[in-house]
Amino acid sequence: MEESATSSVKLRDRALEVLRSVFGYDGFRHEQAAIIERVASGGDALVLMPTGGGKSLCYQIPALLRDGMGVVVSPLIALMKDQVDALRQAGVRAAYLNSTLTAFQAADVERDMRDGALDLLYVAPERLVAPRCLELLSRCKLALFAIDEAHCVSQWGHDFRPEYLKLQILHERFPGVPRIALTATADRPTRSDIIERLSLGGAAVFAASFDRPNIRYHVVAKTSSKTQLINFLEAEHPADAGIVYCLSRRKVEEVAEWLCAKGRVALPYHAGLDAAIRERNQDRFLKEEAVIVVATVAFGMGIDKPNVRFVAHLDLPKNVEAYYQETGRAGRDGLAANAFMTYGMSDLGTLLGFIDESDLEERQRRIERHKLSALLGYCETVTCRRKVLLGYFGENYDRACGNCDNCLHPPQVFDGVVMAQKALSAVHRTGERFGAGYLVDVLRGQLTDRMRQSGHHRLKTFGVGSDLEPKQWHSVFRQLVAQGHLEVDVEGHGGLKFGETGWAALRGEVPFVFRAKERSAGRRGGLRNDAAPGPAGSSAKDPLFQALRSLRSELAREQNVPPYVIFHDATLMEMVRRKPADLTAMSRVPGVGRRKLDRYGAIFVAAIAKLVT
Ligand code: ADP
Ligand code: ZN
């Protein structure tokens, strides 16, 4: 007992020593220390942590602490090279095996494997389970298996990969080697699928909070999404890298072109583009500073560029899970970042159409529609957005975050029972067939030709809502849909019909408040995210930061690696703050490990000295 207690203390010390000397960080985050201890001492683990939470160290450090080579399974072939480059920069002996290597290159890696010359090996799942690879591994000393993006084993999620099911074999073939499965997908069905399908019944489960405190959420009703985007970018991100999501390929192209015309470097990315173009655009996003990618959902999985400063949705995403995953690509480095969205009722129609045209079973379609209205509920909420998001994932967040639009500028609300009754009555009396546009005309008493033809100008409801602007009525309808009182009728022509609680609401039995007026985005400067220090605040404009950033780019270009594998933005900002004058001071900057100190310390000290005098 005593012995195991001392050895556990020793293990912790050794883990901390590796964290400091190799990665240059001072302390562990969240449950990293416990996870590392578990795996380094030979146990299995399932790790649920949000994007940017720090999952990689959870297997990288145990692999360095244990004898032999750690094997990392990842579906993201395109990104293995970056991960390996980053590790090599830190002095870790890492390599990857996948279909992008030539036979010669693969043979080199295999030789290193046999010689015990690797600490970490990244492998694509289909490659790993091939008999040849398993055979080779059985002749190597293995430290652990890390199964990254472990939700790919689940059919529930959207990233299902059949080859992940075969990873079961690792447990059978190598029973003594600890396994750690990691994912940023948190829901229960996925979690139990991972445990069952990978035989991880004995694994310790580590579930971190899914909060991303450095991301600031803003959601605004769509007026003109392009103008709203540029206002937001000008106010918040004049020279930052980010991702803009749109629903259609055509819009992706259009917005990318438009941003270029506005002087930004913006590149399109969608499944309809040539693979070579897609790859080039992704590469530029990773390797250059301040590139904006405009994309459909085809872009982003596994993008682990740490300094994505914003993610903007110009249309509604598919559901809250997708939204959280997509926005989670911002601010992985922990510095301030923005998640911005514009949305409208027409997006809802488009997405409902997608669900309808899909080949899903009816039950699944109903779930998808439900998820979509939960997302609309998030958009329309007048309370703290973080609370709603985390609540959706089953986490109880019992305060207001102070870092979302609703917390920063509480929306004006008013008692909307009467307004809701008017709107619902218009829906009912016109036969639950019409869309919001027409219904607003009825409420506001617009005597259009269509109105005369239908005879709806004779209804009692006609003109009872002339006191509100069309924009406000549209918002009322969205909020009624968000709260489930109305539903979009997809079988019909996308008209609005009563939802489950529609009648109760019409009778005035359901209390609710309405958002009084839409804020205009960006313009007032009130949305600026400077709660956390970061390039979204003021330091991006600091000349020293700029200078260090270009020095970093230059070094990265010489080696053909992304700049952030040399130093992260957070590390550069610490250099700007501390202005280290010698190597000892430089070694204390978080993110400067031993190897990077040797390689780049002097160059950066000199650059700082030159600019500071
Ligand atoms: P995930 O894989 O969970 O999305 P990463 O492993 O890429 O996250 O880590 C996100 C970022 O946080 C990286 O930039 C990483 O270097 C940094 N990081 C992780 N753990 C620590 C730590 N203990 N101290 C400081 N930075 C950390
Ligand atoms: Zn909030």
Q: What does pTM read for this prediction?
A: 0.78
Nearest CA to ligand 1 atom 27: 54
Looking at the CA of 386, name the nearest ligand. Answer: 2
Mutation probe of ligand 1 site: the residue of 23, 182, 211 with most atoms within 8 A of C-beta: 23
Dist. CA 483 → ligand 2 center (Å): 20
Residue 336 φ then ψ, to 5°: -55, 140
Evaluate: CB of 54 within 6 angstroms of ligand 1. Answer: yes
**Does ligand 1 lie within 6 Å of residue 55's CB atom?**
yes
Q: Which pLDDT score, from 0 to 100, does residue 538 have?
A: 46
Pocket test for ligand 1, best of 25, 74, 286 (most atoms within 8 A of CB): 25
Ligand nearest to the CA of 304: 1
**Best mutation site among 57, 569, 596 for ligand 1, i.e. most ligand atoms within 8 A of its Cβ?**
57
CATH 3.40.50.300 assigned to 2-207: yes
Residue type, 287: K
Beta pairing class for 337-343 and 310-313: parallel
Ligand nearest the Cα atom of residue 388: 2
Residue 387: nearest ligand to its CA?
A: 2
Reported in sequence order, the residue ranges of 266-397 that DSSP labels E, i.e. its strands, are 266-269, 292-295, 310-313, 337-343
Whether ligand 1 lies within 6 angstroms of the CB of 51 is answered as yes
| Residues 330, 213 contacting (CB under 8 angstroms) | no
What is the whole-number distance in angstroms between the Cα of residue 333 and the centre of ligand 1? 7
**Centre of ligand 2 from the C-alpha of residue 399, in Å:** 8
**DSSP conformation class of 565:** G
Query: What is the whole-number distance in angstroms between the Cα of residue 217 and the centre of ligand 1?
Result: 21
Q: How far apart are the first and last CA of the chain?
A: 58
Question: Which ligand has its closest atom nearest to the C-alpha of 184?
Answer: 1
Q: Which ligand number lies closest to the CA of residue 409?
A: 2
> What's the 391 CA to ligand 2 centre distance in angstroms?
12
pLDDT number for residue 402: 96
Q: Where are the beta strands (DSSP E) in 191-280?
A: 204-207, 215-221, 242-245, 266-269
Minimal-distance CA residue to ligand 1 atom 24: 25
Q: Which atom of ligand 1 is nearest to the CA of 23?
A: 16
State if residue 304 touches ligand 1 by the CB under 6 angstroms criterion. Answer: yes
CATH number attached to the domain at 413-518: 1.10.10.10
The residue nearest atom 20 of ligand 1, judged by CA position, is 54
The ligand 1 atom at the shortest distance from the C-alpha of residue 49 is 3
Closest CA to 255 of 274, 221, 230: 230
Place of tokens 């035989």: 199
Ligand 1 in reach of 452 Cβ (< 6 A): no
- How far is ligand 1, taken at its centre, from the CA of residue 550, in Å? 23
Q: How far is CA 558 from CA 420, 490, 561, 594, 602, in A?
A: 63, 55, 8, 21, 17
Distance 399 CA to ligand 1 centre (A): 26
| Separation in Å, CA 523 to CA 206, 520, 528 | 42, 7, 10
pLDDT of residue 503: 92
- Report the distance separating Cα 228 and Cα 586, nearest Å: 42
CATH number assigned to the domain covering 538-612? 1.10.150.80
**Burial of 594: CB neighbours in 10 Å, binned 0-12, 13-18, 19+:** middle
CATH code assigned to 215-408: 3.40.50.300
- Our answer on whether the CB atom of 301 is closer than 6 Å to any ligand 1 atom is no
Nearest CA to ligand 1 atom 13: 333
* Pocket lining: 406 vs ligand 1, CB cutoff 6 Å: no
Q: What is the SS3 assignment for 146?
A: strand
Paired sense of beta strands 242-245 and 310-313, if any: parallel
Strand partners, 205: 46
The residues that bridge with 41 in the sheet, in sequence order, are: none
Report the alpha-carbon distance of residue 347 to residue 219 in Å, rounded.
14
Which residue type, as a one-letter code, is found at position 332?
R
User: Cα(17) to centroid of ligand 2, in Å?
Assistant: 37
Distance of CA 130 to the CA centre of its chain: 32
The encoded tokens of residue 287 equal 């390797």
Nearest ligand to the C-alpha atom of residue 589: 1
* Regions of the chain where pLDDT drops below 50: 1, 520-538
From CA 114, how far away is CA 277, in angstroms rounded? 37
Q: Find out whether the beta carbon of 332 lies less than 6 Å from any atom of ligand 1.
A: yes
Pocket test for ligand 1, best of 12, 48, 332 (most atoms within 8 A of CB): 332
Residue-level pLDDT at 537? 46
- Domain ranges in the chain? 2-207, 215-408, 413-518, 538-612
- Please tell me the distance from the alpha carbon of residue 516 to that of residue 479, in angstroms, as a whole number: 11
Q: Is the CB of 53 under 6 A from ligand 1?
A: yes
* Domain 2-207 identical in fold to domain 215-408: yes
